[in-house]
Structure 1
Amino acid sequence: MSRLMAMEQCPAFLSAASNVSMPRAPREAWASHSAASKPHGLCPLKAASGASASDARPSRLILSPDAAMRKKAHQQQKRSNERTDRAPNVARKTRTRGQNETEDGFVLLIRAKLDLLEQLGRGAVVLKRGKGKLFHDGSPIIYEGAVQSTSGRLDAGDVVVVLDAMGEYVGWGIFNGRSEMYRVRLLHNCATDGALDPEKIDLAALVQTRIRAAARARRALGLSPRSDETNTYGLVNGEGDRLSGLAIDVFKSHCVVSSSALWCELYAPLILTALREAFSDEDSGSDCTVSWRLSRDRLVQDGMNVSVAAHLASCRSKHETRVLGRPASSASADDFPVLDREALLSKDGELEWPQDSYESGGTAASMHIAENGIKYSIDLGEARQKTGFYSDQRENRLHVRSLCRPGMEVLDLYCYSGAFALNCAVSGARVLGVDSSEPAIRAATANAAVNGLSEQCSFVQQEVVKYMSEALREGGPQQFDVVILDPPKLAPKRAGLARALGMYRRVNRLALQLVRPGGLLVTHSCSAAVTSTPGLLLKTVHESAKEAGRTISLLRTGYAAPCHVISPSYPEGQYLTSLTLYVDQQV
């Protein structure tokens, strides 16, 4: 006899089964049910001896496969109906047994806060269930996929309050429904910046506070525009300084603003005012000028019309404006080329641009700046890369200087304006720089002359891969004690990472073959898609070394200069990696 049948005939089991109560309809259905006639339905257990099937009370039900599927479908439909009955535009947790009261409390809390924000004329964004933790931890960028719903009539540039699915405030920031990627750039996060009072949101005060805090952080590093040793550095580094999409570099008495977010363009006068106040704190004793540059591709990705971006870039490239040495009230509408909201958010064909509109002021003149005691002549009107000078490599250049000695031969690939080359030459090394850009080669040659290093430095205009390939084909190629490889961003987006890694392998393989056995390769990547994966660049160079018949040992890993601050909540901001490698022949 089976264990189940023995249990069914046990007096205690029968007594307990007889006390099971069932709803009327199921009980009547049970009495008329026959397991023989419906073999795939609800099957009653064996009745007690001497009792009829209609009098027996089942102790349990066994679902056949078909019945189990029907029950599951019924439960799914019931959950679907519950979701349909929910209030629209409100994020909720999925209803499960025992959670209804808690969930209703979340809904009421969200509704109450949305009502309050509506009374204040404030829009809101509600996050999907399970998405809040990332932003409570401080992440500054909210993507479209994290948004459950919005409240209010929102347009790009509107200040919005962000709530999670349980009705808690996450923070506030700038909404952008036009962006291909971002929905909200958080500027105030409750987790890191304190509690949020919807009645006291002030964008102008926040931007001013952020830029002043950034200036204080740079002063803590010993950086100042008045220094003779180093007077060029990064003042604002986007997400690192909690101003997503905004970068500002200092060049002695001149600032270059780089805008890659639509909100920066919409609030450009506000940013300039905050920058003026920050430089007033510096008390530099001289006027400071500012240039404003646009990252056109990223602005278009952020929702700006292509023709608007092109027009505004043209205007800004020809303009500078004074921001220090004059009272704030003296600023006028014609003082800076700013388009109104309608123009900035216009679509193709809606507006025609008059010739020379929004152009005023003069072109920023060339100037001399200093970094680690070396002088550089830069022309901000002609420079087209980043903000004019790569101050993020300052510490890495100083490291390379420490590696060089008189008599050493150095090859600087992708030399740009010669900063790595000059640091090597200062230590007595002889340097050859290669770059494909004619303006870059002119700038490098001029910088060598300014520092009295023309005899130690020579520069060649040629595509770098072509130069290395030809050098290796010419019998016994010239080899160098130190080879510096600082290519441009090869992986602008993660989608192109695989292709970029192939390019990194190729250029490093060629560069390794130009290093004398016992020499050094100092290689770099400025692609966040590479740096964000620990060890990826080193692994790629290791593959290059095997292809080149070399062995490598890692001596140092470097990153961007400390003025390019990184937020712990946004490690993606770490984009630059520098590897110093000892190179030898395979044995």
Structure 2
Amino acid sequence: MSEAIVTLKKGEGRMLKSGGLWIFDNEIASILGSFEDGDIVAVHDFDGYGLGKGFINRNSKIRVRMMTRNRHQEIDEAFLKMRVQEAWDYRKKVSDTGSCRVIFGEADFLPGLVVDKFSDVLVVQSLALGIDRLKDQIVELLKEVLAADGIKIRGVYERSDAKVRRQEGMELYKGFIGEAFDTNVEIEENGVRYMVDVKDGQKTGFFLDQKYNRKAIQHLCKDAKVLDCFTHTGSFALNAGYGGAKEVTGVDASELAVEQAILNSKLNGMEDRVKFICRDVFELLPELEEKGEKFDVVILDPPAFTKSRNSVKNAVKGYREINLRAMKLVRDGGFLATCSCSHFMTYELFTQTIHQAARNVHKRLRQVEYRTQAPDHPILWAAEESYYLKFYVFQVVDEK
């Protein structure tokens, strides 16, 4: 059966033509031929010129997600194997592959699909209808590609429980792909060991995108008193401990995360120096300030305060609040590591917000470095959503 043809309006498809993978509903002039949501369709410009192929979904404002710019390319097993092989070859060049993100959606030209590798376990997240149909086939191909490098995968778990699936008309889902297995997985990163709960941990169980940012704070923390806010399962706190910190306090509002962090601290034999408390960071920081507490290093790794353009204003208030509170807790000449993981909080806006916070509390910031997500989460320049993590390290100096 021949593919349906999606034709763009004249002057539309600017994101697509600059290298992006999305076509929005309001860019389309017509759709000819029969199709079901999730099917592969051909995409033509207004004048009939072939722009490639992608999968369609009328439930989503992102009406078509492109799989290839080659209008003659069949989306078959050989094509999917090529995409998976290219993704893995890239990781081998740029990252420690013991645990890494193997497939990062649009940035690996497999839109809507995320696959994380934790040691010998894969965790899959499918966020778009068309890729959901291909998911099982891609997982099998990935296992083949890894096996060719001597890596045997003992289990695959699906974490397609992100609310964004509802925008695609899909139900939320989590469960095993294939045989059941123990979903607590031990990994090592930057010399630190963690137990990762791929079944019930946040997102896919562990945030791999901060791998090299965590490593970057190790040398700053030698002999330091450290506060790690929004610690999740303790990753920055434990890197501080590994770097030789004399005292580390990790804070998170989730009891489950704190329990996991305590377990991870014991796993590394750091429980005497790296401790965790379950508290709301926004409530705790003013209390610490009131007590006159000071830290050599303060780390802020909050969840995304905004997941849409509509809530950016409130997010700015949140980021400004925690940053100014944190700056007050850093001793003169100490360090602040601060980040945002929302792509709606742009680099410019995040930078401006931190600058305002510093002005408000009469602190001067000396930038040590600016970083972004680890290279196994590549940034595709034409796909804005692939650039989301902004990470600064500053020395905080009192005005005097």
Q: Would you say same fold, with TM above 0.5?
A: yes
Q: Which residue of 1 aligns with 2:261?
A: 444
Query: Is the counterpart of residue 211 in structure 1 residue 78 in structure 2?
Result: no
Q: Which residue of 2 aligns with 1:577?
A: 390
The 2-side partners of 1:465 and 1:453 are apart by 26
Q: Which residue of 2 aligns with 1:265?
A: 132
The 2-side partners of 1:379 and 1:159 are apart by 35
Q: Identical aligned pairs, as a percentage?
A: 32
Q: Which residue of 1 aligns with 2:371?
A: 558
Alignment deviations for residues 111-141 of structure 1 (CA, whole Å, 9 cap, x no partner): xxxxxxxxx5210100111114432322101
Distance 1:471 1:287, change over 3 A: closer
The 2-side partners of 1:239 and 1:551 are apart by 39
Q: Which residue of 2 aligns with 1:291?
A: 157
TM-fit CA distance, 1:172? 0.2
Q: Which residue of 2 aligns with 1:507?
A: 322
TM-fit CA distance, 1:373? 1.6
The 2-side partners of 1:452 and 1:137 are apart by 50
TM-fit CA distance, 1:292? 0.9
Alignment deviations for residues 424-468 of structure 1 (CA, whole Å, 9 cap, x no partner): 111211211111111111111111111111111111111111111
Q: Which residue of 2 aligns with 1:413?
A: 229
Q: Which residue of 1 aligns with 2:353?
A: 540
Structure that is richer in helix per residue: 1
TM-fit CA distance, 1:363? 4.9
CA contact (8 A) 2:155 2:181 kept: no
Q: Which residue of 2 aligns with 1:188?
A: 68
CA contact (8 A) 1:485 1:523 kept: yes
The 2-side partners of 1:433 and 1:133 are apart by 45
The 2-side partners of 1:454 and 1:281 are apart by 40
Which residue identity does 1:280 align to in structure 2?
A
TM-fit CA distance, 1:507? 1.1
Alignment deviations for residues 520-567 of structure 1 (CA, whole Å, 9 cap, x no partner): 110000000113xx4221110111112222222222111000111122
Alignment deviations for residues 492-536 of structure 1 (CA, whole Å, 9 cap, x no partner): 1112111111111111111111111111110000000113xx422
Q: Spell out the pairing of 1:2-81 with structure 2 (5 A cutoff).
A: none
CA contact (8 A) 1:519 1:584 kept: yes
Query: Is the counterpart of residue 377 in structure 1 residue 195 in structure 2?
Result: yes
2:335 match: secondary structure: strand
The 1-side partners of 2:9 and 2:84 are apart by 32
Q: Spell out the pairing of 1:87-486 with structure 2 (5 A cutoff).
A: 121-179=2-60, 181-190=61-70, 196-197=71-72, 201-221=74-94, 223-224=96-97, 231-284=98-151, 286-304=152-170, 309-310=171-172, 313=173, 316-317=174-175, 319-321=176-178, 361-383=179-201, 385-406=202-223, 408-429=224-245, 430-474=247-291, 477-486=292-301
Alignment deviations for residues 141-174 of structure 1 (CA, whole Å, 9 cap, x no partner): 1111111111112321111000111221111000
TM-score (norm 2): 0.96
Which residue identity does 1:189 align to in structure 2?
R
CA contact (8 A) 1:363 1:381 kept: no
The 2-side partners of 1:542 and 1:138 are apart by 33
1:535 match: secondary structure: helix
Q: Which residue of 2 aligns with 1:358?
A: none
Alignment deviations for residues 76-105 of structure 1 (CA, whole Å, 9 cap, x no partner): xxxxxxxxxxxxxxxxxxxxxxxxxxxxxx
Alignment deviations for residues 458-479 of structure 1 (CA, whole Å, 9 cap, x no partner): 11111111111222233xx211
Distance 1:289 1:483, change over 3 A: same
Select the structure of larger CA radius of gyration. 1
2:148 match: secondary structure: helix
The 2-side partners of 1:221 and 1:152 are apart by 43
**Gap regions ≥5 residues in structure 2:** none
1:528 match: secondary structure: coil
Q: Which residue of 2 aligns with 1:28?
A: none
Which residue identity does 1:585 align to in structure 2?
D
CA contact (8 A) 2:121 2:185 kept: no
**Matched residue count:** 399
CA contact (8 A) 1:364 1:381 kept: no
2:232 match: secondary structure: coil
The 1-side partners of 2:333 and 2:96 are apart by 37
The 2-side partners of 1:455 and 1:467 are apart by 22
The 2-side partners of 1:222 and 1:130 are apart by 40
Q: Which residue of 2 aligns with 1:530?
A: 345
Over aligned residue pairs, what C-alpha RMSD do you find? 1.6
The 2-side partners of 1:168 and 1:402 are apart by 55
Query: Is the counterpart of residue 498 in structure 1 residue 313 in structure 2?
Result: yes
Q: Which residue of 2 aligns with 1:99?
A: none
The 2-side partners of 1:282 and 1:493 are apart by 40
2:345 match: secondary structure: helix
CA contact (8 A) 2:95 2:375 kept: no
The 2-side partners of 1:293 and 1:212 are apart by 23
Q: Which residue of 2 aligns with 1:357?
A: none
CA contact (8 A) 1:364 1:380 kept: no
The 1-side partners of 2:40 and 2:186 are apart by 40
Q: 2:362 aligns with which of 521, 546, 549?
A: 549
CA contact (8 A) 2:15 2:21 kept: no
1:443 match: secondary structure: helix
Alignment deviations for residues 19-44 of structure 1 (CA, whole Å, 9 cap, x no partner): xxxxxxxxxxxxxxxxxxxxxxxxxx
